[in-house]
Amino acid sequence: MADILGNAAPFKYAEELIANAKKIATPGKGILAADESTGTIGKRLASIGCPNEESYRRDLREMLFTAPGIENYISGVILFEETLYQNASDGTPFVKMLQDKDIVPGIKVDKGVVALPGTDGETETQGIDDLGKRCAKYYEQGARFAKWRAVLKIGNGCPSELSIHQNAYTLARYAVICQENGLVPIVEPEILSDGSHGIEVCAAITERVVAACYKALNDHHALLEGTLLKPNMVLAGADAPKADVKLAGYLTARTLMRTVPAAVPGIMFLSGGQSEEEATAHLAAMNQCDTVKKPWTLSFSFGRALQASALKAWGGKKENFKAGQDAFLARAKANSEATLGKGDLTATGESLYVKDYKY
């Protein structure tokens, strides 16, 4: 019966896509987003007094990837193109290093955002033109999933119908190109937290945006079992009073119940500039919520919320390598537990929010 395709296209890599998506969405594990562009990682390195040089970028990633027991909490790592082809200090390719730990290597494939003409500063994401060729090359190098970030915003009539439609259909086109080339696509429609809107506004708009994405994926004949979703959590705007953690967890889970098909194996949240502790608390809250049906794994695909304290502990110094790893593993373990509904819902911490965030 599995050979009856339904609406999905007959992808050559269908069985592999389904298996890899399911593996990445393993309960108790999540994704480390280490796909910062050269410019963005330069800002992170500058914050600890380090130059933006290849050796420092390598050392930071090596510190994370070689953390003892990382495979207990991390199922996939999103890489930037430089890192996909980079070797550790001992000459081991990073891709092989991850594969040896049974961690799935992934790759960021979008080329950033450009202005969407006729809108109030809204954007669309570029990189579709040569995506098929690049995906084939990345698959050959060992990548088995990909990420593409669309960016939407709330306020002054935004997101417009044009922005929602354009970004949804571009995400869907990206998704099927990835699937044609053996890469599980992570669909990321990020609604920025910029603004003073309440959580109820974020809930309504997130429903509209995510629903549009699945309409587009259906129109493009995507194999949903071989995809993952990376949405924002449903939260109040960065300039508004914070909503109760349990309420945020409930509204996030309800929004997804209303919009995400059960065929999708995992929903891997972005942290969106929350503090490390807040992102973990919200993840735990939605997994603790027992009044909403949750047929998918609710997990994490965090960058800043997994790396911020590790970066500070490391400080770019070889003698602090273990301290950085310990800080990273502490966050990875806390988020792993949050995917299973365990954790402190009252935790707070230093905000990692950056207005109009780009990376």
Residue 346, classified by CB atoms within 10 Å of its CB into exposed (0-12), middle (13-18) or buried (19+), is: exposed
**Sequential DSSP letters for 5-74:** -TTS---TTHHHHHHHHHHHT-TT-EEEEE---HHHHHHHHHTTT----HHHHHHHHHHHHTSTTGGGTE
The one-letter amino acid code at 38 reads T
The H or E element containing residue 79 is: strand 74-79
Residue with tokens 């071989």: 226
Cα separation, 271 vs 85, in Å, equals 27
- Answer whether 273's CB lies under 8 Å from 191's CB: no
Residue 175 DSSP label: H
Catalytic residue annotation: 188, 230
